Structure 1
């Protein structure tokens, strides 16, 4: 069971759909959202501070991340997340790129990030989440 999931996307409809599908398919207590990479970094920064004080702090074990966002895109987020060492703090956190891009270079680029376990095309569906259950356990 995933206690907390995080969705990062600049499109409010995508965020709403993401939450609805996740609620129906995965047993998740909390679903948090951010509308760009900068908000997501701030979210993880606050969690890292809490985690330093209390190692029992619950953090998202799974994050759905859009690539094309204003302010800070998904690539910039992943680079900063790694540079700040969050991949070391949140060792079992996984990311799934959820994007509308059709560029094969984007799919290949995700392989450069050890925290990214999959690349999915929008919109998220019940079937996608059902197929992900094996990767998440």
Structure 2
């Protein structure tokens, strides 16, 4: 079981379903959500500045690609930069409603992206990811 994961998606129903499946599967102790990439980067900037204790951060991010304000690709560009290097051990799973072959290829350019899966998240996906992360 992971200690903490972050789900980034602009759809509240997707976030709710994601949380339910993760809780039922005992996949993570804590689930944090963000509605777009900008909100997620802001979260990382906030936890980076917590003093006097080790930084607790998600071990895994579920990332939607198409979101207003800041989409998944833009988030990955920022998150892959030296500015966020202290979080480079965090793995990312792209969750998308469309699986475009070009998107699959683009995702391979980011070292933190370990998989590209189709929405919605399922128990079997979490079991598969659990085995992949061991």
- Is TM more than 0.5 here? yes
Separation of aligned partners in 2, 1:131 and 1:27: 11
**1:128 to 2:100 alignment:** no
Separation of aligned partners in 2, 1:83 and 1:103: 25
Quote the offset at 1:83 in angstroms: 2.1
Detail structure 1 runs of 4+ shifted over 6 Å in the superposition. none
Instruction: Give the aligned length.
Output: 134
Partner residue, 1:72: 70
Q: What RMSD, in angstroms, separates the aligned Cα atoms of the two structures? A: 1.3
Q: 1:47 to 1:110 in 2, by over 3 A?
A: same
- Please identify which structure carries the higher helix content: 1
Separation of aligned partners in 2, 1:68 and 1:25: 26
Task: Confirm or deny: 8 A CA contact 1:3 1:58 kept in the other structure.
Answer: no
In structure 2, runs of 5+ residues without a counterpart are none
- Report the TM-score when normalising by structure 2: 0.93
